[in-house]
Amino acid sequence: MRTTVRFMDALADVAYYLAEWYLPEMTATSVDEMVAKLDAAAVAVSTEGTPVRLIVTLSVPTDEVLYGVFGAPSPDIVSQTCVRAGVPFQRISGDVGARIQPHPVAEVADSAPV
């Protein structure tokens, strides 16, 4: 049996949180493994009835830091998710806004001043 969690339908008042991890020996493989653990934990927590979603991660190897933006009802749920994944964050910030544009807007690019 397959369970589908529809995140946005389940939570009308989602807040966004920025979690930070300091990873002195960061590699692409270690980031991929960490993100997979976080995704799996988010699915597990959501399946149990508390919607949480890892929206995006950004790695900055020169600063040895990984950022993750989560959508959840509270920072405690983000903390629970990260602990469950085995990767508790070092810092969390609330009231985060993110704009991710999937494709450049041609009209804006064509009309930009040179």
pLDDT at 8 over 70: no
Task: Tell me the pairing of strands 53-60 and 65-72.
Answer: antiparallel
Q: Using alpha carbons, select from 58, 62, 53, 50 the residue that is nearest to residue 24.
A: 62
Sketch the domain layout of the chain as residue ranges.
11-96
List, in sequence order, every beta strand (DSSP E) within the chain: 15-22, 53-60, 65-72, 91-93
Instruction: Supply the pTM of this predicted model.
Output: 0.77
- Span 9-51, pLDDT tens digits: 444 578 999 999 999 999 999 999 999 999 999 999 999 999 9
Q: 96: pLDDT confidence band, cut at 50, 70 and 90?
A: confident
Provide the phi-psi class of 64: left if phi over 0, else alpha when psi is between -120 and 50, else beta.
left
Q: Which fold has domain 11-96?
A: Alpha-Beta Plaits (3.30.70)
- Band (pLDDT 50/70/90 cuts) for residue 59 is very high
